[in-house]
Amino acid sequence: MKNLKNVSTLSVPSGTGGDGCPWHRLKWASAEIWQEVAIAVLTVVVLRFIFIYFFALYQKNQRPGQVRCWPIVGSTMTLNANMNGLHDFLAELHEKNEVVWITYPFGLDGLYITDPASTEHMLKINFPNYPKGDEIQLRMRELLGHGIFAADGQEWKDTRKVASFQFSSAILRNFSADVFREGAIVLSRIVSQFAQSRLPMDMQNLFMRLTLDTTCKVGLGVELGCLSPSLPDVPFAKHFDLANELSFSRYLDPLWKFKKFLNIGNEKCLRKCVEGVDAFSYNIINQRRIDLEACKKDGSKVRPDLLSRFMSVLENSDEVFSDKVLRDHVVNFIIAGRDTSAVTLSWFIYMLCLNPEVAEKIFEEVTCLEQNESSPYNAEREDDPFIRFAEVLTFYNVGKLQYLHAALTETLRLYPPVHLDGKVADKDDVFPNGVKVKKGYLITYNAYAMGRLERIWGPDAKQYKPERWLKDGIFHQESPFKFVSFHAGNRQCLGKESAYLQMKMTAALLIRFFKFELVPDQNIQPRLMFVLTMKEGVQVIATPR
C-alpha cells in the first residue's frame, strides 16, 4: 500500500509549490539525471579528444626526423634543452633525415629542409605559394616592420623594384667602393695599435663597428664614428642587436604573445630596444628630408647615399611613403649591410686562425696584386702603407683576387649569416622529394646544415677548403639552391656584389699587413639571432708582417 500511495501521489501534481511537493522533487531528480548524462557525455568527448590528441602526438613523434614534441608547447621544450648548440643539434638531425619536422606551440606543424631541389621548388618554381606569412611576420614585425625582409606580395615587389634600380647604379657602386676602402684603412690602423701592444682584441666587435659605419654612410648618409680611436659606446648597436635576439627568441617561447600583451619579460625589453632603434632611424629620416628640400631650393645634386636617392625617386613618383615605411627600409638595410658582412668577416678570421695555410695563400695573392699594379704618386700615400696598398684595391683589381673570393665563400658555406629562413605554405603542395606540405605549414631551409652535409658537398663537407670553389685557379659558382647564403630565386640578395666588395677589401688589407692567432680557451658559439653572430665574439692577437 505504501508503494501504491507513492505512485498515486506522483501521478497527480500538487499546485502548492514548495520544496516538500512530490512533483517538485521529481523535477529535481530529472535535472540531476540530465546533469549526470551531460557530464558523462562531456567526459567521453574530452577523453576522446585527449586520446586523439595524444595519439596524433605519438604519431608525430614517430615521424623520421621529428624533433620530440610535447602537449601544448610542441617541440619548443626539446629545442630549448639544446639551445646552447641548437645549430649543430639540427644539423646532426639533418645528417640522418633530409627533412626535420618541428611542432610549434598549439600543434602548428613545420619542417626544415636541406634538399637543394626542394629549396629551389620553394624559392623559385612555386615561389607564390611560399610567402613570409603572418606567423613569421608577427615575430619580426616590431624590429623589421614591413621592410624588404618581412614584406610580402605587392608591397615586397614595389620595394624590391626601387631598391634593385638603386643597387645597379654606378654612382652608388663607386661611392660604396670609396667608403669601403676608407673604412678598411681606419680598421687596419686600429688593428696596428693592438698589434704593437700585443693586446687581444675582439674582431667581431671591430667588424660590427666597421660595417655599421660604412652601412650608415653608404645607405643613410651619416657618419657615426664607431671606429674612432676611443672605440666609443654605440647605444643604437646595442639596441639593434638585442632587439634582433629577442625577436628570434619568439620562435622558442610559446608564451611570447601573452608576455607582449602584458608588456613583461623579454617583450618589455624588446619594446624598449625598438624605441631606441626608432629614435635613431626617425632622426636620420628627418635630416634627409631637410637635405632634399635644400637640394630643391639651390638645385644641387642629391646626396649619393641610398636613402637620399630612394627618397628622391619616391618624391618624383605617385607613391606616398610615410616616415614609418621609410623607417622600416632603414632598419632592413642596416641588418642587410651591417650584420651579414661583419658576421662573415668574424667567422673568416676565426677560420684563418684555425687554417693558417689559407691565410698564407691569400697573402701571396694580395702581394702579387700589389706588385703587378701601380698607382700615381701621392705624398700622403707614400707616408702611409695602408693607404698605399688600399689604392691598389680598385673595383676592377679586387675582382682578380680569386682565392680570397673562394676563402670568403667557403666561410659563408659553413657559417651562413642567415642560417635559417622560413616561409609559410599558402596551399597544399608536394616537394620534389615526395614530402607533402599542407596549407599553413612553416617551411624553413636550414642553410647552416646544408653547408655541412656530405650528401650535398661530399665527404669533406665539414672541412674548410677554399679549393673546392676553384677550377684552374678561377672561382666557380655553385647553384644558389645548393649554396644559399645569399638566398636564392626571386628574393636573392640585391647587395651580394657590394658585400663581397667590402669583405674582400677589408680582408685583403688585414692579411697583407697582419697575422692572426686565437686567444686560447675561448667558447666560440653562435648567438641565437636572425643572423649567425658569435655569442662572445672572437678574441685574437695580431702580429705585424
Q: Are 274 and 246 spatial neighbours (Cβ–Cβ below 8 Å)?
A: no
Mean pLDDT (the chain) is 86
Helix (H, G, I), strand (E, B) or coil at 102: strand
Helix (H, G, I), strand (E, B) or coil at 544: strand
Strands 429-430 and 436-437, by their bridges, are antiparallel
pLDDT, tens digit (0-9, with 9 covering 90-100), for 415-454:
999 999 999 999 999 999 999 999 999 999 999 999 999 9
- Write out 141-189 in H/E/C secondary structure: HHHHCCCCCCCCHHHHHHHHHHHHHHHCCHHHHHHHHHHHHHHHHHHHH
pTM above 0.75, yes or no: yes
| Nearest by Cα to 542 from 199, 211, 228, 189 | 199
pLDDT, tens digit (0-9, with 9 covering 90-100), for 136-145:
888 888 998 8
**DSSP secondary structure code for residue 126 in this structure:** T
377 pLDDT band, cuts 50/70/90, is very low
The residue ranges of every structural domain in the chain are 62-544
Give the residue with greater pLDDT, 288 vs 116.
116
Q: Which of 87-91, 174-178, 233-237 has the highest mean pLDDT?
A: 87-91
How far apart (Å, rounded) are the C-alpha atoms in residues 181 and 185?
6
| Nearest by Cα to 333 from 141, 173, 490, 163 | 163
Q: What is the DSSP code string of 398-438?
A: HTT-HHHHHHHHHHHHHS-SS-EEEEE-SS-EE-TTS-EE-
Helix (H, G, I), strand (E, B) or coil at 109: strand
Q: Strand pairing partners for 154? A: none
Please determine, for residue 16, whether its predicted confidence score (pLDDT) is greater than 60.
no
Per CATH, domain 62-544 is 1.10.10.10: no
Q: Are 181 and 393 spatial neighbours (Cβ–Cβ below 8 Å)?
A: yes
Give percent above pLDDT 70 in the chain. Answer: 87
Query: What pLDDT, on a 0 to 100 scale, did the predictor assign at position 384?
Result: 86
Q: Is 295 annotated as a binding residue?
A: no
Burial class (CB in 10 A: 0-12, 13-18, 19+), 525: middle
Q: Are 355 and 464 spatial neighbours (Cβ–Cβ below 8 Å)?
A: yes
Q: Which of 112-116, 222-226, 270-274, 365-369 shows the lowest mean pLDDT across its residues? A: 222-226
Q: Which of 183-192, 243-252, 408-417, 477-486 shows the lowest mean pLDDT across its residues? A: 243-252
